Chains A and B, each alone.
Chain A
Amino acid sequence: MNILYATLGFIGIYTYVSFASLLWEGIDRKLVARMQRRVGPPLLQPFYDFLKLVSKESIIPRDANRFFELAPVLALATSIALLAYTPLGFEPLFGTKGDVILFVYLLTLIGFLRVIGAVSSGSPYAQIGAQREMIILVSREGPMMLALFTILWRLNGLGVTKPFSMGTFYEHNVWELGTPMSVIGTVILLFVFLAWLASEIEVGYFDIPEAETELAEGTMAEYSGRHLALFDLASAIKAFVSASLVVAVFFPWGISGYLDLIGLPAMVVDLLFHTLKVFTVLFVSMTIFRTVTGRLRITQATNLFWTRLLPASMVGALLLVIDALGVIA
């Protein structure tokens, strides 16, 4: 019976997140347009785009192989599976100990499937886009994983029921430590996470694999119709999920406790509040970031990850570790 409820809840969450992530895309486009003194598309434009694309014929290139058609389906499937382990204002429905590792794995898998699809399309633009995506993929996960696992390790010390799970963040949060050194470390890690988020959703500096003016949408160059729609939805969900991770790590507070709610109403209220926080994080990391920056070269972006963000992540992690071990009393 419990499994049945969880499944029903999961379907509900999937519907809600698809809606919310596409809505965010609309809000983002509108906000960017307003910042650029444009009118911008209507808020529901991503929905129209999605519905239109679904109804359109999908053109398969002559040189494409089977994975070209398979990749978008797998990408969407992965992003849906990802939702089962995503903190959404409450502990993930299928959360167990160690689900953080699965979460990171699935998140990376979406990027990997994009590469598979692009390589299978046989287009030189997609090929270059795939190369770039691959390079960025291996560069961006390092700093983020170091930061994430340090925080989880630190929170473990406070005593949690399921170690290394997303649920950890709703039992303790990293600000609770309270010592000056840990606060400084956390702020540094927050910065690393925001930069990682921007690169995960590929905006601003990191709009490199899709680089419209350089590679004509790069990895997505050959996709059209249904397949493109699936990828679009997968990317939108991925943006929401990535931001959810940042929210869960740094801003996990819910409001249901203050309203004296329990059970389903509490979950709904927390989910709505969580969505608000996700939109705020995305506003900083996506909307503002892509309005005030341009694209970097791939070499510069890689450089940024390995020589700026990774050291920053290390410094933040070390601060947390030193604080925990009490080396400097």
Chain B
Amino acid sequence: MNGRLEYWVKVPIGPIHPALEEPEKFIITLDGERIIHVDVKLGYNLRGLEWIAMRRNYIQILYLAERICGICSFSHNHTYSRAVEEMAGIQVPERAEYIRVIVGELERIHSHLLNLGVVGHTIGYDTVLHLSWLARERVMDILEAIGGNRVNYSVNMIGGVRRNIEEKHKRAILDMVKYYRNEVMPKIEEIFLYDPTVEARLRDAGVIPKRIAIEYSAQGPTARGSGVKKDVRYNEKLSVYPDLGVKPVTPKEFTGVVKGDVFDRMVVRVGELWQSMDTIERAIDQMPEGKIKAVPKDNALLFQLKKADGEGIGRYEAPRGELIHYVKGQKGKDVPAKWKMREPTFPNLFAIARALVGEQVADVPVAIASIDPCLSCTDRVAVIDANTGRKKILTEKDLLKLSIEKTRELNPEVKAKPEVIGVGCPRGGAL
């Protein structure tokens, strides 16, 4: 065994590598083309969001939450809103919940189309990338029409939504659904369910067995691809989703077998595209009239939140899996004492790292892409490498101390204690 050790090669994949969209690092130990061990290193995308959040009030954090990640910008601020609503005991109007469902599902469509393209690109099938991203433009246009932006639509507000869905939006959305059903989905299905190249590359690559998926607490399509029926919208009877008949999609319904490989994860995503379209249609059908915000004025809302005390947890099935936000309020202040989120990529990354052992090096990029990793969401804890090669894991307390020191060094004017800048959102009242 020791003789073999000599032939092992350690290949770093990342932090910068063409297969990865975001900085992350996998140290892969290879024996020829076979993978012996995978080590995951995180922390290349730390932006100190939780620290920034301590200097923002509840409403400002909404826009910060949106910028955690470009793809799930709705999911993050939706989940955050749910957490704050639970904390402050705010009832969300039903129409607002429906609008959230519609925008959430639109986001799921664009996120899944993006991931399908990325997986196509990682196996060198660039045509899939270009055409699926072309198809994605349509839903981006709709999101722009509703929210005013292609990516950060800022639809959510604590206790409701900021944008209404009007008749013209409804017509545009239904047109879009029709376009996807008739023109895009047949092609997508042909590529991801029947294309021989795709099947050759994705079948039996990066297999996550059901047991591993449960043990590592895999989330979203990664778990469902392994046959775990896990979907917060269904399991937790979240918001109005039970009325819309959302069920976890597993590959069994499409191909009849559950293997837990990359192919199955893609099948789940294709299935969820269909499901999202059905959900959107039903939501538009059932959407009641009424107001869209529990508290119309932002400063009144902020005042109400100032009085709130306690903690709230928001859960939502983001396109990549279950997203959890935790908010702890403090009485008399419009700043949360603690804001913390758990992203689906975190458990998924370790599940996939475990699954890669024994596979070929050619499967690494496609397996990593298949969980649709979102590192900008995940990285919020820093591991500092000293120049000497010594590693030290800093606790939150150390980080806080260090960042206060650094802030002082940069700008002595700023006081040591995290403070809020400004009151409320200056543009909030006008909208």
Contact = CB atoms under 8 A, between A and B. Distances in A.
Contact of A127 (B9, B120, B198): B9
A294 B362 contact: no
Nearest to B9: A124
B130 A213 contact: no
A54 interface: no
Contacts of B12: 124
Contacts of A300: 200
B197 A293 contact: yes
Nearest to A127: B9
Nearest to B30: A128
Interface stretch (A32-40, A148-156, A252-260): A32-40
A324 interface: no
Nearest to B12: A124
B332 interface: no
Interface residues of A, number: 30
Contacts of B198: 294
Interface in A36-56: 36-38
B181 to A, nearest CB: 20
Given A216-B17, A297-B201, A298-B33, A128 B361 contact: yes
Contacts of A212: 18, 124
Contact of B362 (A127, A216, A292, A297): A297
Contact of A299 (B124, B127, B360): B360
A296 B121 contact: no
Nearest to B33: A298
Nearest to B123: A294
B130 A38 contact: yes
A213 B11 contact: no
Interface in B181-230: 197-198, 200-201
A212 B128 CA distance: 16
B33 A128 contact: yes
Nearest to A291: B127
Nearest to A210: B124
A298 B360 contact: yes
Given A127-B9, A216-B18, A292 B127 contact: yes
A132 B393 CA distance: 39
Interface in A192-247: 204-205, 207-208, 211-214, 216-217
Contacts of B200: 296-297, 300
A162 interface: no
Nearest to A299: B360
A295 interface: yes
A319 B247 CA distance: 58
B20 to A, nearest CB: 9
B179 interface: no
Nearest to B196: A293
Contacts of B121: 213
Contacts of A296: 197, 200-201
B124 A213 contact: yes
Contact of A214 (B30, B131, B365): B365
Contacts of B363: 297
Interface centre among B121, B123, B365 (most CB of A within 10 A): B123
Nearest to B134: A37
B130 A36 contact: yes
A214 B127 contact: no
A293 B125 contact: yes
B361 A214 contact: yes
Contact of B131 (A32, A36, A293, A298): A36
Interface in A274-302: 291-300
A38 B130 CA distance: 8
Interface in A120-144: 124-125, 127-128, 131
Contacts of A294: 120, 123-125, 128, 197-198, 201
A37 B360 contact: no
Contacts of A214: 19, 122, 361-362, 364-365
Contact of B197 (A38, A131, A205, A299): A205
A239 to B, nearest CB: 18
A37 B17 CA distance: 26
Contacts of A35: 127
Given A35-B127, A128-B33, A297 B360 contact: yes
Interface in A168-212: 204-205, 207-208, 211-212
Nearest to B120: A294
A298 B362 contact: yes
Interface in B2-35: 9-12, 17-19, 30, 32-33
B126 interface: yes
B124 A125 contact: no
Interface in B95-144: 120-128, 130-131, 134
Contacts of A38: 130
Contacts of B365: 213-214
A217 B364 CA distance: 15
A214 B364 CA distance: 7
A37 B126 CA distance: 11
Contacts of B30: 128
Interface centre among A32, A36, A127 (most CB of B within 10 A): A36
A127 B10 CA distance: 12
A212 B123 CA distance: 9
Contacts of A299: 33, 360
Interface centre among A217, A292, A294, A297 (most CB of B within 10 A): A294
A211 B197 CA distance: 15
Interface of B: 9-12, 17-19, 30, 32-33, 120-128, 130-131, 134, 197-198, 200-201, 360-365
22 contacts: A32-B126, A36-B130, A36-B131, A131-B33, A204-B124, A207-B124, A212-B124, A213-B18, A214-B122, A214-B362, A214-B364, A214-B365, A216-B17, A217-B18, A291-B127, A294-B120, A294-B124, A294-B198, A295-B125, A296-B197, A297-B200, A297-B201
Query: Which 4 residue pairs are nearest across A and B when measured between Cβ atoms?
Result: A294-B125, A295-B124, A36-B130, A294-B123
Given A37-B131, A294-B125, 20 more contacts: A32-B126, A36-B131, A124-B9, A127-B9, A128-B30, A131-B33, A204-B124, A205-B197, A208-B362, A211-B124, A211-B362, A213-B122, A214-B364, A294-B120, A294-B128, A294-B197, A295-B123, A296-B201, A297-B363, A299-B360
